[in-house]
Structures are given as structure tokens and as C-alpha cells.
Amino acid sequence: MAKGTAPGADRDWWTLWPGLFGKELAAFSHLGIVPRTVHKQNGVLILEADWPVDGQSAPMLLLIGYSPLHPLFRPAVAAPNERFERHQNPLSRDLCLLTQESGQWDSNQLVADFIQERLHHLLSALQARKDGRWGDAAKLEEQAADPLMPYFAPGSEEDSVILFDGQAALPSAPHGLIELACSPRSSQHNGAAFEGVLRQVKTSNGAALGKLFGFPVGPQDAQLITGRWVKFTPRVTTDSGELLRLAEEELARQAVLQGPSVRKVNEAARGSLSITGIVFPEETKYGQNGAGWLFLVTRRAVGDDSNGAAETRLVRAERAGKDDVFSRLPVAKSLQGKKAVVVGIGAIGSFAGLELARAGLGEITFIDFDTVQPGNSLRWPLGRSAWGRGKASALANFIADNYPWTRASFLPRRLGETATSCAELTPESGNVLAPLFDLLRCADVVVDASASEEVQLALSHYCKRFGVPYVMGHGTHGVAGGVVARFVPGAGGCFVCLNEHWKDKRIPEPRVDDAGTVIPVGCNAPTFTGGGFDLQEISLEIVRTAVGLLSDEKYDPGAWAVAVLTLKNEDGSRTLPRWEGYPCPAHPKCCGAKA
């Protein structure tokens, strides 16, 4: 049968499985409920039902939306006439009968039975909360926060965001000023898109409330803007004009007792662009409140301070403090004060460096002399925007722009390069190795992804001399295999020892595909064939090894010193990635001779 021609594959589920549809309706009838059909076409089935509830004289009106992919996906159930404090979307009135985790929905359960079971569970949890039986409520409901901010997100303008410290407390004052650093964003759909950072919350007199917030590295073109804020819990709506009206009403109410103060903050709402923040108590952890924010941006024609010609939009707010960002990766706390030097920013080193930044490494320096070519994009993390740029500088700048908690720098140099002319060599220039040695002495780990034996020998020698952990990794021709090795001061073996073990066959060398070499058009140096989807196996093991060495025992580095990767069988066929670990003791021809 031709692809896509299975009979009935594109039909509505109730016509594809009429027996299942009959069982669904019978389940309602068994509960004494007669559902009414609201919509039934184009894959969408919506029923309306009066649902009896224990202890209530009147039934609860429910709207039941079957998934177009029923029974594989969960239904949606809304209670349009109810206003629950929890477990209900305040906009759509949909009920949270299941958590968002996959695996919660049982595709063998009929929807009526599912509602009967889960609705009773939900109402019991709400009653326990109402009665103050918090222990009972915690047993009945998922112990997760129910924040308010996400419900406003559908009304936000595209590609804009304002970032704030999610750990900051709710301001004590009722209103005041805010200082934001705003920079434009590239967007195909919103020419006014921008990123804002809420740097400081202030009183109406300009006194700081809480700590100054910002990133170690920020955009060069950021513009400081003073806006206003007001504290109250708004009605949930995606109508930005309505939200601004509610903010104005609250400020007017507060002006009855604090007129001069409110007039000061309203001055910040004049001009061609103004930002109004609404701050409110929001559940950030189960049973614990923090500060939630909404931001309204009003744009006016230049020179027009009237409200009539203004356009107001809701801008998405996101928590972006250090604790907010790294809460998903506890080991990051042990990495934030650590420094790494990454040498060789090719197909392996680039991904390894990027992953170290993602993991929260405090500082990273890249060393590489090469430039990014269009052909590199097949196995390099950055695309067209980096073509023609130096690899080290392109990656360092990308990290500075996108992972601001990592300080990234670069040294555009070919290690070991020498000179044949004395014209540029002067005694005042100092030792040419001084910058490298300064970096090595300050590093907590050195990652060598150069795939150059000359570089490996030199770096491993000086890392041992300076007492710095050294991690080496590279792939073989055709990416048939690869190796990652680590050498820690005082551990015994070194990189030279590893090479001697390879010669003795005590540690197997990674498999090589001799056919996996190519000389690209216009290039005078051969390179190996292979894609990033294979080479990243090596990059990720480098990162796991480095994180293990840097994490103060918060992440297990593994018991091996050398990891050998196999990606191809001897006949060249692909095999699942297979890592084998080996110790690397001191070899008699190297470190062992001194023992």
C-alpha cells in the first residue's frame, strides 16, 4: 500500500471507531448523564453535560472536548460557570484534572468515567484547602506551584521579553519606579521587538527597593528606561488595554492618600515609549508566594504625549536570575566559580565549550587560530552568522550574548607557531608563551580538542607541570571511534604513558576508518569525514568528564582515566555508541621509570 493511503486514516475518530464512540456515550448514560453535542465535525467533538456533584443541589455545567487524536490523547474539560482558586485556567475555565506530565492519561479509560473519578478528586482537594486542612490538600493535589503569570502569556507581543530576578521579594511599597535596560531584538514578525532587564525597583522618590539585578555581560546597545509600577493582583485577561486600565484605576485609588507620590510615577508614563509594571503575590513554590510581574509597553508617535494615539501591548515576563536559570541543574552551583581553557574549537571542542557554558561554568577561554567556513556548519554549533569569523571569537561572543552567567574570552593563536623574521620581535614584547602560561596557571581544567599530537604533548606536559587537570578528546578518521582521556595531577599516568600503553596494546586504540578522509575543494589540508551527530558523542563525554573534575564531587567523574568509543564495526557497519573505560597507570618508559 502506498504511503499515506491507509483506508480511513484521515477520518474523524468517531467514524473510524464507531464502537468506541458508542461506548463513550454509554458511559455517560450509565452515570445518569445525557450529554448534548455542541460541535461534531473536522475532528473536533465537544459535548455539554450537567454533572451531578455530591453535596450540591444543582449540577455543574461541563464542556467536554475530545482530542482529535482520541483516545490516544487526554480530553479537555471546562467548567465555564465556576471560579476555582486553583486547578482551573482562569481564562478558558479548563480544569486541571491531570498534571502536565505524560503518562497520566489512560487511553483505555472512557472519558465519562475519567471525569467522574478526577472531578471528585479535584473538588475534594479544593474543599480541603478551603477548610484549612493543608495536609489533606497536599495528599490530594500535585505539590507544585500554581503561578499566575503563565495565564497572561497568550496575549503577549511576539518575540519581546522582560527579564527579572525571580528570587526578589514582593516590593513593600504600593507603587514606584522601575529601571530597565532595553535592547532591540531581531524579529521577522515584530519590528518593535526588544529584550528588557528589570534592573532596579524603586520608590516614587527613587530609593532602591531590593538588590540591583543584571547579568555579568549585557548587550552593547542597551538603553536605560525608567518606567512605573503598581502593586495589585489583576483580573486575568489577555486584553492589554484592559490591563492598563486596571493599573490606572489602582493608581487612581492609591492617589487618594498618596497623590504627590502617584503623580511622580505617572510622569514616567509620558513620552513615545513607556513601560508599566504590575507586580503581585504569586505562588512560586507549593504553598509559598513570591513576586510575579506583568509588563505593559505603550508606544506613541514621536512628539505625541496624548493617550488617544497610543498602542499598548503586553510583554512576556520571565524569571532569569541565576537561581532561576540553574535550578534545573543543581551541579551548576559548584561550577560557577570555576575556569576552563578549551584548546581547539572545531567540531568537538566547539560543542564541548558550548555545553560547559550551558552547564553554568563561571569562566571559559577559547584558543584557536582557525576561521569558520561554510562547510564547517555541518558539524559546528553556529551557522551562517559565523561564516568568515574566527572560531574562538565567534563562539565566545555567542556565549556572551546567550549565556550571560559565563564569562567567555578567546585567544586567536596557533599553539607552537614560531617565526622566521625578527622584524616584530622585540625584548619589550615579553615571552611569547606568557599569555598561554598565565591562562594555564589560572585554569581549573584544560580541555584539549585540537586532535593535534603536537598540541597534546605540549599541553599535557605544561598542565602536569602547573598542576592543572588535563582532559583530551578526539575522533578518528571517518568517525569510526574516538577517545576521551583525563590526567589529574598526582594520579600516576600521563598522556605519554597513554601512548606507550597504546603501543603495548594494553589499552585498545579507537577504531579508524581509513576511507573517511577528504580534501575539500579549495583547501590544501585533508580532513576527516563525519557529522556532528556522531562527533558530539565525544564532545559530551569531554563535558561529563570536565564537570566531574570541577564539581567538588557533586557529579561523578567516573572511575576510568581513558574512555574509548566505538561507532563502527570492523566491516565499517554502524554500531550503537559503545564506550569502554580503562585505567592509565604510570608506564615504565615514562612516569613509571621514576617510581
d(CA 546, CA 449): 12
Q: In whole angstroms, give the CA distance from residue 85 to residue 106.
A: 27
CA distance linking residue 530 with residue 574, whole number of Å:
12
The pTM is what?
0.86
In this structure, the number of other CB atoms found within 10 A of the CB of residue 297 comes to 24
Q: Tens digit of pLDDT for each residue in 308-347?
A: 578 999 999 999 999 999 998 999 999 999 999 999 999 9
Listed in sequence order, the DSSP H helices in 191-239 are none
CA dist 363 → 337, 411, 415 (Å) = 8, 14, 21
Q: State how far Cα 245 lies from the chain centre.
A: 34
Residue type, 345: I
Q: How confident is the model at residue 414 (pLDDT cuts 50, 70, 90)?
A: confident
Other CB atoms within 10 Å distance of the CB of residue 496: 19
pLDDT in tens, 451-465: 999 999 999 999 999
pLDDT tens across 239-259, in order?
999 999 999 999 999 999 999
Cell of 468: 592543572
> What's the pLDDT at 492?
85
- Least Cα distance to 483 among 557, 542, 531, 570 occurs for 542
Residues 353, 534, 326, 395, Cα dihedral to 10°: 30
Q: Fill in the DSSP letter of residue 491.
A: S
| Distances in whole angstroms, Cα of residue 180 to Cα of each of 259, 311, 436, 455, 520 | 25, 20, 39, 46, 49
Q: Is the peptide bond between 71 and the residue preceding it cis, with omega within 30 degrees of 0?
A: yes
> Where in the chain are the domains?
13-140, 149-326, 330-415+432-594
Residue 94: strand, helix, or coil: strand
The domain 330-415+432-594 belongs to what CATH superfamily?
NAD(P)-binding Rossmann-like Domain (3.40.50.720)
pLDDT digit string (tens) for 64-104? 999 999 999 999 999 999 999 999 999 999 999 987 666 78
Nearest 5°: CA angle at 362, between 357 and 365?
Answer: 70
One of 3.40.440.10, 3.40.30.10, 3.10.110.10, 3.40.50.300 is the CATH number of 13-140, namely 3.10.110.10
Backbone angles phi, psi at 61, to 5 degrees: -75, 125
Question: Hey, how many other C-beta atoms are within 10 angstroms of the C-beta on 60?
Answer: 16
Going by pLDDT thresholds of 50, 70 and 90, the confidence category of residue 530 is confident
CA angle 509, 515, 520 (to 5 degrees): 115
Nearest to 555 by CA among 349, 342, 331: 331
Q: What is the pLDDT of residue 289?
A: 92
Q: In this predicted model, what pLDDT tens digit does every residue of 462-500 receive, in sequence order? A: 999 999 999 999 999 889 999 999 999 988 899 999 999
Q: Are 49 and 65 in contact (CB under 8 A)?
A: no
What does the block give as the cell for 230? 503598581
Structure-block grid coordinates of residue 102: 505524560
Whether pLDDT at 523 is above 80: no
CA distances from 318 to 332, 451, 506, 557 (A): 20, 41, 54, 34
223 has a pLDDT exceeding 90: yes
CA 227 to chain centroid: 28
Give the CA angle between residues 561, 537, 497 to the nearest 5°.
25
Residue 409 near residue 335 (C-beta atoms within 8 A): no
pLDDT for position 3? 57
Confidence at residue 376, expressed as pLDDT on a 0 to 100 scale: 81
φ and ψ of 577, to 5 deg: -55, 125
What percent of the chain has a predicted confidence (pLDDT) above 90? Answer: 76
Pairing of strands 339-343, 363-367: parallel
Q: Hey, which residues does 224 pair with through a beta bridge?
A: 181
* Whole-number CA gyration radius for the chain: 31
Rounded distance between C-alpha atoms, residue 207 and residue 285, angstroms? 29
Average pLDDT over residues 507-520: 78
Structure confidence by residue, pLDDT tens digits, 559-585: 999 999 999 999 989 999 999 999 999
CA distances in angstroms from 380 to 363, 373, 404, listed in the order given: 21, 10, 21
Distance between CA atoms of residues 434 and 440, nearest Å:
10
Cβ 394 vs Cβ 402: under 8 Å? no
pLDDT level of residue 190 (50, 70, 90 thresholds): very high
- The single-letter DSSP state of residue 321 is S
* 94-108, 366-380, 459-473, 530-544: the lowest-pLDDT one: 94-108
Residue 525 cell numbers, joined = 589540508
For CA atoms 344, 345, 349, 354, give the dihedral sign: positive
**By three-state DSSP, how is residue 34 classified?**
coil
3-state helix, strand, coil in the chain (%, to 5): 30, 25, 45
Residues 6 or more apart whose CB falls under 8 angstroms from that of 345 comprise: 353, 366, 367, 368, 370, 391, 392, 395, 449
Q: Alpha-carbon distance 561 to 579, whole Å?
A: 12
